[in-house]
Amino acid sequence: MSMQAWQVTRAGEPREALRLAAEAPLPDPPSGFLRVRVGACALGLPDLFMCRGSYALPPTLPFTPGQELARGGLLGKSVLAGPGGR
């Protein structure tokens, strides 16, 4: 399976560092984790620092930023939480 994702391919300002990966691989969630369907995602301040390469623990390139999600759904074997649940 694949997904669309904005990926940081090199350190720099977001408009220079982000590239749209139309067919990014969809990773399988580890045991005990859920896959979240994302309808929209915002680029927050930590993502900006990660794009610039100035985050305290910079991720390995390439990476997909995004910590703020909207219009999503939970996918998994035993999903107990509904929309808005935690």
The answer to the question of residue 54 being in a domain is yes
Check which CATH number belongs to the domain holding 8 and give it.
3.90.180.10
Per-residue pLDDT reduced to its tens digit, 3-20: 888 999 999 999 999 999
Residue 80 lies in a domain: no
Number of domains in the chain: 1
64 or 86, greater pLDDT: 64
pLDDT tens by residue, 64-84:
998 888 876 655 555 555 566
Query: Does residue 63 belong to any structural domain of this protein?
Result: yes
Q: Which residue has the higher pLDDT, 60 or 26?
A: 60
Task: Note the pLDDT of residue 1.
Answer: 77
Please check whether residue 18 lies inside any domain of the structure. yes
CA–CA separation, 46 and 52 (whole Å): 10
Please report which residue ranges of 1-86 form alpha helices under DSSP H.
Answer: 14-17, 45-52
pLDDT at 29: 82
